Amino acid sequence: MPPERTRPYVGRFAPSPTGPLHFGSLVAAAASWLDARAAGGRWHVRIEDLDRARERPGAADTILRQLEALGLVWDGAVVRQSERLERYRAALAQLQACGAAYWCGCTRREIGDSALAPEGASVYPGTCRAGLAAGRKPRAVRVRTAAEPIAFVDRVQGAFAESVERAVGDFVVYRADGVFAYQLAVVVDDAAQGVTDVVRGADLLDSTARQIHLQRLLELPRPRYLHVPVAVDAAGRKLAKRTGAPAAGADDLRAALAFLGHAPPRDVGDRELLEWARRTWNPQAIPRARALSATAAAR
Ligand code: GLU
């Protein structure tokens, strides 16, 4: 289904609880909040806590407190993915029932993990596509992909097209460690929550074609996408949640707005920052770049 424009705006912020909000995740949170509020829309927070091994205890609550302190108030109850396994199980069963997904017995070492494949990661060669070879144990579930490119227009980054088959190949929707893959969960939840607009960091631009592929297979509506530049350090590395300083003050918000091409004039007080940005919000002012130095744009 093409992106829907007729439904009332629903946005979301979907942090993984791997650490407190830092400058980079604050940029994503602020952008999605502003885009939703400027459109008079609703804004949800969803804690993506499926990967318990990567979770840091207390991080989810810290993130929520930081959002509150910044004035990034959400609507409705906070959703936690760890409480929604039934929905992912049903979606997985649906994919398997129609033959769109299959069990794979390959080990990580044999093919590399394509679940969240960074650029340059190995492409799944389709080893188990036609069924598991004798003696192989089922490990993960993969979804079939096609060569023809999936195209969409990002509201900031512009036209994008990717052949998922060529970029990553049949990708994992249920991991060998028993965890539902991010790609599956995000698609199920965005649809269940009625999300019309996904606003997030451009490190996830490469995941979007995979998500559209799953939306098609599961017959779910496609949201519109807006990917903001990822904040990188002077050496060009993404600011990591684990190492970046927690961001929860007005100075951080000011810097995040500047990073998004909305530098507040000096006479806008700390308490008025969000309201000023909501009134002046213009996605076309967001730099059209996948990555941007946090230090250059900010202080
Ligand atoms: N949970 C993901 C992250 O923190 C974001 C998912 C999304 O916005 O689609 O990187």
Q: Which residue has the higher pLDDT, 114 or 36?
A: 36
Residue 209 lies in a domain: no
Question: Ligand 1: which residues within 6 Å by Cβ?
Answer: 14-16, 48, 186, 200, 204
27/90 same-domain check: no
> Residues 241, 262, 273, 292: which is the catalytic one?
241
Report pLDDT for 115.
47
75/118 same-domain check: no
247/292 same-domain check: yes
Q: Are 205 and 157 in contact (CB under 8 A)?
A: yes
Residue 151 lies in a domain: no
112/69 same-domain check: no
Among 21, 27, 48, residue to substitute to test ligand 1 (most atoms within 8 Å of Cβ) = 48
Domain extent, residue 131, equals: 86-146+168-174
Instruction: Give the model's confidence band at 239: pLDDT under 50 very low, under 70 low, under 90 confident, else very high.
Output: confident
Residue 245 lies in a domain: yes
**Ligand 1 nearest-atom number relative to CA 211:** 9
91/38 same-domain check: no
Percent of the chain exceeding pLDDT 90 equals 83
Among 16, 33, 49, 211, residue to substitute to test ligand 1 (most atoms within 8 Å of Cβ) = 16
Residue 199 lies in a domain: no
* 241 annotated active-site: yes
- Determine the Cα–Cα distance for residues 252 and 258; give it in Å rounded to an integer: 10
- Determine the Cα–Cα distance for residues 181 and 186; give it in Å rounded to an integer: 9
Residue 219 lies in a domain: no
User: Last residue of a domain, which of 156, 174, 192?
Assistant: 174
User: Last residue of a domain, which of 128, 158, 174?
Assistant: 174
Q: Are 288 and 156 in contact (CB under 8 A)?
A: yes
Report pLDDT for 199.
98
**Ligand 1 nearest-atom number relative to CA 207:** 9
Q: Which residue has the higher pLDDT, 298 or 259?
A: 259
Distances (CA, A) of 184 to 25, 81, 169, 215, 268: 22, 11, 15, 9, 42
Please say if the pLDDT value at position 215 is more than 80.
yes
Report pLDDT for 240.
65
CB atoms within 10 A of CB 6: 5
If you measure from the C-alpha of residue 128 to the centroid of ligand 1, how many angstroms do you get, rounded to a whole number? 29
Provide the token pair at 141.
């579930």
Q: Whose CA is nearest to atom 6 of ligand 1?
A: 14
14/77 same-domain check: yes
Residue 283 lies in a domain: yes
74/104 same-domain check: no
Instruction: Give the model's confidence band at 80: pLDDT under 50 very low, under 70 low, under 90 confident, else very high.
Output: very high
98/68 same-domain check: no
40/90 same-domain check: no
- Determine the Cα–Cα distance for residues 299 and 295; give it in Å rounded to an integer: 6
Orientation of helix 23-38 relative to helix 59-70, angle to 10° = 50
**Ligand 1 nearest-atom number relative to CA 18:** 4
SS (H, E, C) 22-48: EHHHHHHHHHHHHHHHHCCCEEEEEEC
Report pLDDT for 296.
58
> 113-122, 163-172, 211-220, 288-297: lowest mean pLDDT where?
113-122
Q: Which residue has the higher pLDDT, 206 or 296?
A: 206
Residue 218 lies in a domain: no
79/136 same-domain check: no
* E strands in 70-176: 79-80, 101-104, 140-143, 150-154, 158-162, 171-174
| Domains contained in the chain, number | 2
286/252 same-domain check: yes
Mean pLDDT for the stretch of residues 103-123: 70
Residue 210 lies in a domain: no
94/29 same-domain check: no
Report pLDDT for 263.
97
CATH number of the domain residue 93 falls in: 3.40.50.620
How confident is the model over 43-70, as pLDDT tens digits?
999 999 999 999 999 999 999 999 999 9
How confident is the model over 164-174, as pLDDT tens digits?
999 999 999 99
Q: What is the mean pLDDT of the chain?
A: 92
Output the pTM of the full model: 0.93
- Determine the Cα–Cα distance for residues 76 and 42; give it in Å rounded to an integer: 9
If you measure from the C-alpha of residue 30 to the centroid of ligand 1, how many angstroms do you get, rounded to a whole number? 14
User: Last residue of a domain, which of 174, 194, 221?
Assistant: 174
Among 21, 22, 33, 186, residue to substitute to test ligand 1 (most atoms within 8 Å of Cβ) = 186
